[in-house]
Copies of this chain bind each other. A is one copy, B any other.
Amino acid sequence: MRLLAFVFSFIFSVPLQAQHPVAFATKTELEGVKKSIAAYPVLQKSFAEIKTDVDAWLGRDIDVPVPKDPAGGYTHDRHKANYTLMFNSGLLYNLTSDFRYATLVKNLLLKYAKLNPALKNHPQATSSSPGRIFWQALNDANWLVYTGMAYDLVRNSLTADERTKIENGAFKPEVNFLTQDLKSWFNLIHNHGVWACAGVGIVGIATGNKDYVDMALYGTEKDGKAGFLAQLNGLFSPDGYYTEGPYYIRYAILPFYIFANALNNVKPELKIFQYRNSILKKALEAGLQQTNINGRFFPVNDALKEKDFTSTELVAAVDIAWEVYGKEEGLLTVAKKQDRVLLNRGGASIAAALTNSKNIKPYYPYKSVEFTDGAKGNEGGISFLRVDKDANLTTLVFKYASHGLSHGHFDQLGISLFDKGSEILQDYGSARFVNIEQKWGGRYLPENKGYAAQTIAHNTVVVDEKSQFNAKEEVAENYHGEKLFSSFGNPAVQAISAKQENAYPGVSLHRTLYLLQLPEGKKLVVDLFNTTSTAPHQYDLPFQYNGQVIKASFNYKASTAMQKPLGTKNGYQYLWKEAEANLRDTLAQFTFLNKKTYYTISSLITDSAQIIFTRTGANDPDFNLRREPSYIIRKRGAAETFVNVIEVHGEFDPVSEFSTASYPSVQQITLKQSDEQYTVVEIRIGEDVLVIAQCNEDFSTNKEHSLHLTNATIKWTGPFTVLYDGSPLK
């Protein structure tokens, strides 16, 4: 181990650049930016915004309070505001040569130099990684990233004595705390670790401390098992999918890009942006592909749905990527919506492009994409099937990835559906009001584990009213789904199939999804979900629909005079039972309206099934959950096949009072065959007949199949075929 550490140290032992600033941007770079400000409106606007913010504080005595409050409280927000203020003021010092900006930073840093050495764990600390300035260490890491860059920006203006005071007083206690007291947390392969490494590394660059930089790059033991490079290796699949999901790559992309950018300035020989086949380029592109047409990141695992690609983190990544990876058109679309840029070379460059480009596309170039998960790409994955384009884009999300670390949800083989910018079949996201002090100090609420992470909160099968892996992260993280086949080449027929055999002991789950566009343009999802077991079970398949109930084709009994929770645990205790139906051998059709579009779930009911309408809100005395509905199909048996067709149809225009095609066109669903070898479904759509035949055991693309049904023979090559009125659908 020691030898390895020595080798690493040796290889990268070039002296840290003495010229400052160099962390956020170099001196030369900032001189260039300064000259460009007047030329490009969005650069000028971004400059003016931070100048307005900072100018309001010039000459004032800014509070550096003794830490006391949780997120959303005064001391939390003041410290958070302070690090942004120091960073922005440092930038302005370089862009205006006005010494007052440097003085603002210096005064604050000297206050922190007095405060930090005496800090103990924050009084509101509740997690296993307590902070000192903030309630959790993660926020202290944020502070290091920005304060480190601020120091670097004003370093040249400080006396040697001031530098010593700040380096020993403001930074050293924090760095020591994170790398010694919280050593194992610092070395985690996790978004917290990324921020921690970036913070310590940037402070190392700003202060010329090689020890810090080495710990940041290779972990506290400097053995490469932890640290920034290990994060780059471990958190992404080879195609750039970040294992914690889109919400957290949104958050981690800033320290990844900002620290990489600083490293690129001081250690160009690392070629950090080319590292692992330019993994950071793939990471950004994958992140952007995981947004909806309104720029919002798809909720997967713990996620706040409001987050979109206009967030600060994405501004940083997009502007740096534009500079280091080349000028891609899609980035320009995103930058235009961001409407602000970094005040560095990348920011100035993309601002110039925004000024000079006439026809910036209104939407990011979204496409169907499947990502593998796991560092080696062998831990399942997640797919985004897309059809149509621009404002009419439809996206089907299918998750068969690994658990997603500590923020993962128990939603193997879960789907969600987006259409025209709206969530149609939703993932609850997380139960959290970030930074709202009244809501549990802005932390994840108890209902996050209690409901939002549970299987029933998703769109996938729940067995015996228990969550997958009994909702135990330590079990779940040993497993992942397995993709069986996929086909994305034909825009009219996109297919993906995966299985999960470990979520429930003795039960195999196998789901295949077909996203289809029929010749007349109609879009539908055919969802074949097979459960197999030797023992009888109760299987619930919930659809978390988002909209107003228009019509159910069947009779049901509504809870009109009293409502009770559907169950007692595993998330079921949060669901009011609004209605239920007992059905037998029928086609159940349920239509709802979301904004201007109708959606119908047509469900084949063979033998018997129950349908349950629920709404969240039971056992929620603090009103922590949004009140949202679901439609649950419940079957009992050892092996069950759920055949559902989700149809996008019609238009409702409440302003002009037109309603067209408000009825589904699916007329009948027949399961022609369903066994270990094949599943064959026939769907009558108006006057037309759609047939899907899939093989359940051989998924090779060149395997020829010939299947004899009662009155026809179907022949095809590969794992499946989709026929429309007898011919392959194209």
B-contacting residues of A (Cβ < 8 Å)?
Answer: 72, 77, 80, 304, 306-308, 310-312, 433-439, 442, 548-551, 558, 560-565, 576, 578-579, 591, 593, 613, 615, 617-623, 626-627, 652, 654-660, 662-663
B residues within 8 A CB of A576? 563
Q: Which of B311, B549, B550 sits near A656, CB closer than 8 Å?
A: B311
> A561: which of B72, B307, B565, B593 is its contact (CB, 8 Å)?
B565
Contacts known (A561-B564, A627-B615); A438 close to B591, Cβ less than 8 A: yes
Contact residue among B438, B615, B658 (Cβ-Cβ distance under 8 Å from A435): B658
Q: How far is the CB of A405 from chain B (nearest CB, A)?
A: 21
Residue of B nearest to A434 (CB): B657
CB of B660 within 8 A of CB of A77, answer yes
The answer for the CA separation of A510 and B439 in the assembled complex, in Å, is 37
**Between-chain CB contacts (< 8 Å), 29 pairs:** A77-B658, A77-B659, A77-B660, A80-B658, A304-B654, A306-B655, A307-B654, A312-B656, A433-B652, A434-B657, A435-B657, A435-B658, A436-B550, A436-B652, A437-B659, A437-B662, A438-B550, A438-B591, A439-B550, A442-B659, A549-B623, A558-B621, A561-B619, A562-B563, A562-B564, A563-B618, A579-B621, A613-B623, A615-B617
Task: Kindly state the separation between the CA atoms of A558 and B618 in the bound complex, as whole angstroms.
Answer: 9
Contact assessment for B655 and A72 in the assembled complex, using a CB-CB cutoff below 8 Å: no
Closest to A307 in B: B655
Q: Is the interface of A mostly helix, strand, loop or mixed?
A: loop
Task: Name the distance in Å between A92's Cβ and chain B's nearest Cβ.
Answer: 20
Minimum CB–CB distance from A359 to chain B (whole Å) comes to: 17
Instruction: Check B560–A618 contact: CB distance below 8 A.
Output: yes
Contact (Cβ within 8 A) A654 B434: yes
Given A435-B658, A438-B662, 4 further pairs, Cβ under 8 A: A435-B659, A560-B619, A561-B565, A615-B627
Q: Which residues of B lie under 8 Å from residue A442 when comparing CB positions?
A: 659
Contacting residues, chain B, for A627 (C-beta < 8 A): 615, 627
How far apart are A137's CB and chain B's nearest CB, in angstroms?
17
Check if A306 sits within 8 Å of B654, measured CB to CB.
yes
**Least CB separation from A76: chain B residue:** B659
CB-nearest residue of chain B relative to A296? B655
A626-B548 contact given A77-B658, A662-B436, CB 8 Å threshold: yes
User: Which 7 interchain pairs have the tightest Cβ spacing?
Assistant: A549-B623, A558-B621, A306-B654, A438-B551, A563-B563, A435-B659, A560-B619
Q: Compute how far the CA of A435 lies from the CA of B550 in the bound complex, rounded to whole angstroms.
A: 12
- Bound CA–CA A438/B593 (angstroms): 11
Let me know if B655 and A311 touch, CB within 8 A: yes
Q: Name the residue of chain B whose CB is nearest to the CB of A652.
A: B436
Choice from B310, B434, B548 contacting A623 with Cβ under 8 Å: B548
- Given known pairs A548-B623, A562-B562, the reply for A436 and B77 (CB within 8 Å) is no
- Alpha-carbon separation in the docked complex, A77 to B663 (Å): 14
A298 to chain B, nearest CB (A): 16
Q: CB-CB < 8 A to A654: which residues of B?
A: 304, 306-307, 434
State in angstroms the CA–CA spacing of A435 and B656 once bound together: 10
Minimum CB–CB distance for A560 against chain B, Å: 5
In the complex, chain B residues whose CB is within 8 Å of the CB of A564: 561-563
Chain B residues, Cβ within 8 Å of A434: 654, 657
A307–B662 Cα distance when bound, in Å, is 20
A72 to B77, CA, bound (A): 53
Minimum distance in angstroms from A351 CB to a CB of chain B? 20
Query: A308 touching B655 by the CB < 8 A rule?
Result: yes
Which residue of B has the minimal Cβ distance to A81? B658
Chain B residues near A578: list those with CB within 8 A: 617, 623
What is the distance, in angstroms, from A87's C-beta to the closest C-beta of chain B?
14
| Residue with the highest number of chain B CB atoms closer than 10 Å, among A310, A563, A620, A659 | A659
Q: Residues of B contacting A435 with CB < 8 Å?
A: 652, 657-659
A593 neighbours in B (Cβ, 8 Å)? 433, 436
Give complex CA distance A500, B309 in Å. 52
Q: Which residue of B lies closest to A251 (CB)?
A: B657
- Smallest CB–CB gap between A545 and chain B, Å? 11
**CB-based contact B659/A436 at 8 Å:** yes
Chain B residues within 8 Å of A550, by CB: 433, 436, 438-439
- Which residues on B sit within 8 Å (CB–CB) of A438? 550-551, 591, 662-663
Q: Which residues of B contact A658 (CB under 8 A)?
A: 77, 80, 435
Residues of B within 8 A of A548 (CB): 433, 623, 626
Report A250 CB to chain B, min CB distance, Å: 10
Q: How many whole Å from A433's CB to the nearest CB in chain B?
A: 7
